[in-house]
Structure 1
Amino acid sequence: MKIINHVMTAVLFLLLANSAWADEKAEQWVKDVKKNYESLKNVSADFTQTFHWKLTGEVQQVKGKIYAREGNQFKIETADQLIVTDGKTLWTLNKANNQVVIDWAENAADENPFIHKFLEKFTQNYDAQMDVNSTEGALVSLLLTSKNEEQFVPFMRLSIDPKSKFIQKIEQTDINENVTTFEMQGIDTSISLSAQDFKFSAPENADIIDMR
């Protein structure tokens, strides 16, 4: 669960555009991106996730591969972890200690950028504005502000490819000012995936922890 728990745990605080025009334009981008992702059947991508801890100044980077199917099945693999869900059950394998944690998929479905529930929280829980101070070049940059002041992630920045309408980067900073950047490369929507690709068998002699 470590990767999923950290993929969306932080926010970048920047100046926000204030005009109604900017709000409407940003909200339209969110709708377009959501519609684009909801139309996906199969998708895979490489990702790089970088954690910046405010208190210690420590920086940690994780690279891996992500696969998603039908908006509710996904697999995330890094050197240390394998996370798989068939849409109902979630398996998390810690490769170092050969430990498998089993949970319900609904407890993590809104933490994956290719899963429908993740996109729903943008439209339901955040107000979007154009980032007029963006340094992302040709990418469209949106700043999302939480509608709930008690949200652990009150702000987010999305960097979107204007042609493909895919999210290329997500930057977040939590209430403790720890910053996480999640970047995706090599997004492939032509990959062939089946339900069998999202089944999991525990390794021999694995320690099983069932949280359901």
Structure 2
Amino acid sequence: MKKIILLFFLFLAVSSSFEATAQKDPKAKILLDAMSQKFQAMNGFTASFDFTFQDQTGSSDRQTGEIAVKGEQYRLKLPEQEIYNDSKTVWTFIQTEDYKEVTINDASQMEGELTPSNIYRMYESGYNYKLLGEKQFQGKTAQLVELTAIKSGAPFEKVTLRIEKTTNNLLGWEMYDGQGGVFSYAFTNLKTNVNLSANYFSFDVKQHPGIEVIDLR
């Protein structure tokens, strides 16, 4: 479960990356801009996603989840855990057979981190990028764009985005931590321009009697 969260909360610090000799490829920027502008203009989108982590020994772990995004708001569903962000407050809700717990933070505490609501803009600073070519992915033609961190010390030194050629949808991506670990993600059942209410991104403590509340605001 913790590895899934790395997608959104450790895939950050775009200002701390390793020195790269690659430059910003104009062809890649056109593609990245088109993808970013499309998703930022949407009313919202939902998707399921598959996550796989493989370490340097070749061992792997696979999980699944669901995501909904509207502007700066998002809701992320993981096994035994959900994260709600209404752009002002973040609730991390954990529910098992034995207990229920919610941790509450100000959304401002997450500034500088890559989250589901800004993943489509992460290339804008801290990375060089280049277009690698095309590859079939999920039965679709995907254009591969490689992002390379500019400075040393990043949690992930390289990211490869898979962008559908005909729609500019982001289909999936791979992140390399520089120590042999590879984090792979793929969107499935992507639905765009979904009408999502503001309440969908807020967590109501009153609907969960007996829940332990950890308020860190």
Q: 1:122 to 1:25 in 2, by over 3 A?
A: same
Does 1:206 find its partner at 2:179?
no
What does residue range 5-154 of structure 1 map to in structure 2 within 5 Å? Answer: 5-7=5-7, 9=10, 23-54=25-56, 57-69=58-70, 71-96=71-96, 97-108=99-110, 110-113=113-116, 115=117, 117-132=118-133, 136=137, 138-154=141-157
Q: CA RMSD in A?
A: 2.6
CA contact 1:30–1:128 (8 Å) conserved in 2: no
Partner SS state of residue 29, structure 1? helix
Residue-pair matches, total:
200
Q: 1:4 to 1:83 in 2, by over 3 A?
A: farther
For residues 68-124 of structure 1, what are the alpha-carbon distances to aligned partners after superposition, in whole Å with 9 as ceiling and x for unaligned? 11x2111111231111111111111111241211112244474334x1x33332111
| Cα distance in 2, alignment partners of residues 94 and 124 from structure 1 | 33
Gaps of 5+ in 2: 12-19
| Cα distance in 1, alignment partners of residues 216 and 166 from structure 2 | 42
| Cα distance in 1, alignment partners of residues 214 and 79 from structure 2 | 21
Q: Which residue of 2 aligns with 1:13?
A: none
| Cα distance in 1, alignment partners of residues 136 and 192 from structure 2 | 27
Identity %: 22
Q: 1:199 to 1:209 in 2, by over 3 A?
A: same
CA contact 1:26–1:128 (8 Å) conserved in 2: yes
TM-score, normalisation: structure 1: 0.83
Q: 1:3 to 1:77 in 2, by over 3 A?
A: farther
| Cα distance in 1, alignment partners of residues 46 and 64 from structure 2 | 14
TM-score, normalisation: structure 2: 0.81
CA contact 2:135–2:141 (8 Å) conserved in 1: no
